[in-house]
Amino acid sequence: MAKLKENLSMTLDDALAKAVLRDSAPVEVLDKEKHADDLCAHFVWNNGQQSVFLCPKAVEKGAVFATVEEALNSHPELAEKLETLTKSGMDDPYAKELSPLTAEGIVLFIPRRMCQKREFLLDLELSEASRAALLKVFVLIDDDASAVVTINLHSRGINAENLFAGQLFCSVGKNAHLVLNEVQDFGNQTVNIRREQSIVQEGGDFHWNICELGGSKSYDNLDVRMEGENSSAVVYGLYFPVKDQLMHIETRQDHMVPHTYSNLHYKGALADRAKASWEGMIYVDPKAEKTDGYQKNENLMLSDEAEVFAKPGLEIIMDDVKCSHGTTITNIDDDQIFYLTSRGIPEREAEKLVIRGFFDTILNLVTYSPIRGKLQNKIDSKMQEGN
């Protein structure tokens, strides 16, 4: 896997050399009538073209869903929050390399005590060949607020070489609650590189669902940091590379203060000649007693040619904590296949049912039903693609 990480470190320069950058365009206001009742807001970024709908009640309460430039023009008080988050994410080589490139940005801000059950949807679309998408996305949930956010990264109508390089910064305030669904389903010639960091303050609760399905090469580095006492974070992820796809995922759970909780669970299935790796770390600060942290990675091998690497890690400098990890790498259970085929289900269909069941525990957590349905269909189609 050292070679894999070396190859990925060269990917950004190679992809940028082939890609064309373009200036962002003015924001178009979307027609409210075109949006489902379950959406509070919808922001579309399509290769620099932008359009947005934000329900009037959310605007009245002080919610912001806009480009960074527009957000700072209308709410200059957000500047300090954005600057603090950007600086906090500059602690690794990929962040330092990406940050100067990702000048264009989008901000979602949920003000204090605003509790919104309807979804905030951010569509990031690639629809032009050889165009580079270089973005920062900020999701800010203020104290005592709550929101459900879905970020949908995908290609539309193209199958050509593309680059997406992005940074995501999330902030969950005191006693705030955020459910974040993140879906990556780019075309099979797209290079995807993302650096993502979330900070949870005192009493905050963060639930992060991540689905990695697309791209030719995909690198995702995510860090969730508990900075306030009694804060918690749950991270569920899945990945499903097929053919010659390559996916590398690094996760980190940082417990910086006492009485914090985190639980991370990733599931992956690999077919054909696909390669994937997951490296996880739970860090517990010397003053963070009473920490409870867990991480688990499960892999289902669907081909003898596929390769997977799993490496959990713990960095703990005190005794009064509860932290553990686990990994599994298995083939499809023959007993499950036998049980299904003995009841008249063809063997190929039985395998599909087992794979669906393997992923369902993650998919069922995606809160926005159109995205969840799309993911289920994509997994079904990827099972058909296998050689």
- Could you tell me the maximum CA-CA distance found in the chain, to the nearest angstrom? 66
Contact between 231 and 143 under an 8 Å Cβ cutoff? The reply is: no
Residue 2 pLDDT: 52
CA distances from 346 to 338, 340, 386 (A): 10, 8, 17
| pLDDT per position as a tens digit, 217-255 | 999 999 999 999 999 999 999 999 999 999 999 999 999
Would you place residue 25 in the very low, low, confident or very high pLDDT band (cuts 50, 70, 90)? very low
Lowest pLDDT segment from 25-39, 137-151, 158-172? 25-39
SS3 of residue 77 by DSSP: coil
Give domain limits for the chain.
Answer: 2-332
Q: Which two tokens stand for residue 90?
A: 């500059």
Does residue 280 have a pLDDT over 90?
A: yes
Q: Which of 107, 70, 65 is nearest to 86 (CA)?
A: 107
Q: Which two tokens stand for residue 49?
A: 């073209």
pLDDT of res. 383: 81
Residue 22 confidence (pLDDT) above 80:
no
Q: How confident is the model at residue 94 (pLDDT cuts 50, 70, 90)?
A: low
Amino acid at 182: E
Pairing mode, if any, of strands 64-67 and 115-126? unpaired
Binned at pLDDT 50, 70 and 90, residue 30 comes out as very low
Please report which residue ranges of the chain form alpha helices under DSSP H.
Answer: 2-18, 56-60, 68-74, 78-88, 93-98, 334-341, 347-363, 369-385
Print burial letters for 161-170: b (CB count within 10 Å at least 16), e (below 16). bbbbbbbbbb
